[in-house]
């Protein structure tokens, strides 16, 4: 009885990848495939058209990649340069890449999507780094890959994991696809305002906030990036020198305005930021802070900041510089329409970003669960 209990609660068996996979070494020796089929693998784990110069290149050593194949760059595997071919369209890759697939007699043992989840974990990348430590030229061949063990549950359990992973992936892709046209429509809407309404200098609409946290108030400390507010990089800084900002205030990094490092505070009643940042607020009832936010988050605005900051130290773009930029000022009703469109795009982008973050956490969590789930006997 004791022996049976032990078996029931054993961890999932770990199998060397070498027992499950084999190399595909189909070469383009007869030059059947041309340069239009050349692809590479990005560090994000996707196939992409090659960036290499292809004129006069010898295509004979190139390897064919077909549906169901995995491909990786042996010198960049530690940063995620591995992709799975799940489309009918084949491609060819450099002979320097490693191409492999699941063995024919193992297709009912392991799902390729489950294996891909295993490869995309940060833990897998760290394993590669450990193996490569001390190597002058860090290249990870298929024999070394074959020594790594993967925890295997039943194919049914794998299907459950893959289904959950794909659902999140689909959610991210759908919202990414939705966010882009919404954002373009919003920017086009704003651009169309220029021909309909007179431009007003931002300096007439905003005021700089100069309040310091001299009493060392216990307020949330935030930094700013292109994506919005982020945790500060300096955890132990003197917060009495920080600037206080309020709800509906704008905070921006004067040295990073060429990449839209600006954010509108819609969450906190009060918070603090580094004194290196600048803070301003809308001081005119004829403009909505949210409309101004949609205006400043455009690439065109970032290019204006870069142009106006050119020639100064580190291309600094301060409030005095921003004050020179003109903004079309339509009626509040029109501003509300633009803001609604902007919020739709932002919501889609937020859902996609959160789904991507969950995907990063889900793959290692599921593989870890597979490693520790009792095996049924």
Domain CATH number, residue 280: 3.90.220.20
- Going residue by residue through the chain (377 aa), what tens digit of pLDDT does each one get? 333 322 322 357 899 999 999 999 999 999 999 999 999 999 989 999 988 888 889 999 999 999 999 999 999 999 999 999 999 999 999 999 999 999 999 999 999 999 999 998 888 999 998 887 656 566 899 999 999 999 888 899 899 889 988 899 899 999 999 999 999 999 999 999 999 998 999 999 999 999 999 999 999 999 999 989 999 887 767 899 999 999 999 999 999 999 999 999 999 999 999 999 999 999 988 999 999 999 999 999 999 998 887 655 556 899 999 999 999 999 999 999 999 999 999 999 999 989 888 877 776 666 666 555 544 43
Per-residue confidence (pLDDT) for residue 6, from 0 to 100: 29
Asked if the structure places residue 147 within a domain, the reply is yes
Please tell me whether residues 35 and 140 are part of one structural domain: yes
State the pTM of this model. 0.69
How far apart are alpha carbons 161 and 129 in whole angstroms?
27
How far apart are alpha carbons 156 and 153 in whole angstroms?
8
Please tell me whether residues 141 and 215 are part of one structural domain: no
Asked if the structure places residue 249 within a domain, the reply is yes
- Closest of 247, 235, 255 to residue 293, by C-alpha: 247
Please tell me whether residues 146 and 210 are part of one structural domain: no
How far apart are alpha carbons 232 and 262 in whole angstroms?
14
SS3 360: helix
Please tell me whether residues 144 and 51 are part of one structural domain: yes
Asked if the structure places residue 191 within a domain, the reply is no
SS3 55: coil
Per-residue confidence (pLDDT) for residue 372, from 0 to 100: 59
CA 301 to chain centre: 23
CA 100 to chain centre: 27
Please tell me whether residues 208 and 325 are part of one structural domain: yes
Asked if the structure places residue 304 within a domain, the reply is yes
Please tell me whether residues 134 and 218 are part of one structural domain: no
Sign (positive or negative) of CA dihedral 146, 150, 153, 159: negative
Contact 321, 305 (CB under 8 A): yes
Q: Structural domain of residue 318, as residue ranges? A: 198-329
- Closest of 100, 98, 93, 101 to residue 63, by C-alpha: 93
Contact 100, 22 (CB under 8 A): yes
| Domain C-terminal end among 329, 347, 369 | 329
- Closest of 85, 61, 60 to residue 71, by C-alpha: 85
* Residues whose CB is less than 8 angstroms from the CB of residue 235 and which lie 6 or more positions away in sequence, other chains included: none
Per-residue confidence (pLDDT) for residue 367, from 0 to 100: 61
- What are the phi and psi torsion angles at 151 (to 5°)? -75, 130
- Indicate the number of domains in the chain: 2
Helical H runs in the chain? Answer: 2-8, 112-119, 122-132, 142-147, 155-193, 289-296, 299-309, 319-322, 332-372
Asked if the structure places residue 278 within a domain, the reply is yes
Contact 287, 201 (CB under 8 A): no
Please tell me whether residues 231 and 105 are part of one structural domain: no
Please tell me whether residues 14 and 148 are part of one structural domain: yes
How far apart are alpha carbons 16 and 150 in whole angstroms?
6
Please tell me whether residues 215 and 127 are part of one structural domain: no
């Amino acid at each position: 009885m004791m022996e049976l209990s032990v078996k029931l609660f054993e961890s999932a068996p770990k199998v060397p990848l070498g027992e499950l996979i084999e190399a595909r070494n189909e070469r383009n020796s007869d030059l059947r495939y041309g340069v239009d089929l050349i692809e590479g693998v990005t560090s994000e784990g996707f196939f992409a058209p090659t960036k290499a110069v292809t004129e006069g290149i010898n295509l004979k050593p190139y390897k064919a990649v077909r549906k169901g194949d995995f491909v990786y760059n042996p010198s960049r595997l530690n940063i995620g340069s591995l992709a799975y071919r799940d489309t009918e369209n084949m491609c060819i890759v450099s002979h320097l890449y490693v191409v492999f697939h699941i063995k024919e007699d193992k297709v009912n043992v392991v799902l390729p999507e489950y294996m891909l989840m295993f490869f995309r974990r940060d833990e897998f990348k760290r394993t590669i780094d450990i193996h490569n430590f001390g190597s002058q030229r860090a290249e990870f061949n298929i024999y070394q890959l074959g020594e790594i063990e993967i925890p295997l549950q039943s194919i049914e359990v794998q299907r459950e994991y893959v289904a959950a992973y794909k659902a999140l992936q689909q959610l991210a892709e759908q919202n990414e696809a939705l966010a882009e046209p919404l954002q373009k429509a919003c920017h086009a809407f704003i651009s169309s305002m220029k021909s309909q309404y007179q431009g007003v200098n931002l300096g007439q609409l905003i005021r700089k906030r100069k309040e310091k946290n001299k009493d060392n108030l216990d307020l949330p400390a935030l930094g700013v990036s292109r994506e919005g507010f982020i945790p500060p990089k300096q955890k132990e800084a003197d917060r009495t020198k920080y600037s206080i900002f309020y709800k509906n205030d704008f905070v921006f990094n004067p040295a990073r305005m060429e990449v839209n490092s600006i954010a509108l505070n819609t969450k906190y009643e009060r918070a603090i930021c580094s004194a290196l940042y600048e803070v301003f607020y809308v001081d005119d009832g004829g403009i909505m802070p949210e409309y101004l936010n949609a205006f400043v988050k455009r690439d065109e605005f970032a290019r204006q900041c870069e142009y106006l900051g050119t020639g100064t130290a580190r291309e600094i773009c301060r409030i005095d510089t921003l004050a020179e930029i003109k903004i079309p000022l339509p009626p509040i009703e029109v501003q509300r329409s633009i803001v609604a469109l902007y919020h739709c795009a932002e919501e889609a982008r937020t859902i996609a970003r959160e789904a991507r973050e969950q995907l990063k956490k889900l793959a290692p969590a599921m593989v870890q669960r597979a490693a520790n789930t009792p095996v049924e006997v």
